[in-house]
Amino acid sequence: MIQDAKPKGKIRAEVEKRLRPLTLPNFITLMRMAIVPFFVIAVAEGDFMVALWTLIIAGLTDLLDGWMARRFDMESLVGAYLDPIADKLLLVTAYVTLTIPMGQSVVIPLWLAILALFRDFFIMLVVLILYLVEDIRSFPPSVLGKATTFMHIVTIGVVLLANLMMMPSWVPNSCFYLSFVLIILSGFNYIYRSSRFIEIARQEKADESVDG
């Protein structure tokens, strides 16, 4: 019985280590989620400088919590889920807020906001289906996906700056159309990658059944 308790103790310690919800990086991630309402308030009140600084602080905290988790061995399962949720919460909120006309001179086009939101909904649906149907638990972002997210951040920043200073119309318009192209490309890329993940998962299951 004592020998059986040791492996169980090790398993429990490993689970607790992976979860570790109260780490400093996770706290920073939660703080990043907490400042999202202040971004909305700033835009609603026409204080685009505060909104821009809120976006910058969110970006810096995103870099900080990731660096701390890796540098000080504070990576956790909770953090792995919290971090992308915090990023999506800020991006979606910023896109919707900057699409609604509230007296600002430059807004994100409604068509672009709809496409961006639909892409995020589509990705979440695909990940859910892969998990429930094929038991695929890992679905890392692609290069195109990261490029699309980066372009969303640039677009938000450019729109905020365009409401703070004089800027040629082609600058935000270029961001809008480049974001559009990346949304379409990354969407098709996710469809292709999903089919490949399914093929690999089914091949692995077939190999296991043959070996068994």
CB 152 within 8 A of CB 179: yes
Q: Decide: helix, strand or coil at residue 107.
A: coil
Q: What is the mean pLDDT of the chain?
A: 84
Confidence at residue 10, expressed as pLDDT on a 0 to 100 scale: 60
Match 């496409």 to its residue by tokens: 115
pLDDT in tens, 93-132: 999 999 999 888 999 999 999 999 998 888 888 878 777 7
Residues 6+ apart with CB under 8 A from 142: 186, 189, 190, 193
At residue 1, the pLDDT reads: 47
Give the model's pLDDT for residue 192.
Answer: 87
- The three-point CA angle 83-46-98 to 5° equals 50
Residue-wise pLDDT for 144-168, tens only, equals 988 998 999 999 999 999 999 999 9
CA distance 69 to 80: 10
Q: What is the mean pLDDT of residues 194-204?
A: 78
pTM attached to this predicted model: 0.82
| SS3 sequence of 45-56 | CCCHHHHHHHHH
Helix axes 24-34, 36-44, angle to 10 degrees: 20
Give the angle 72-76-77 at the CA atoms, nearest 5°.
165
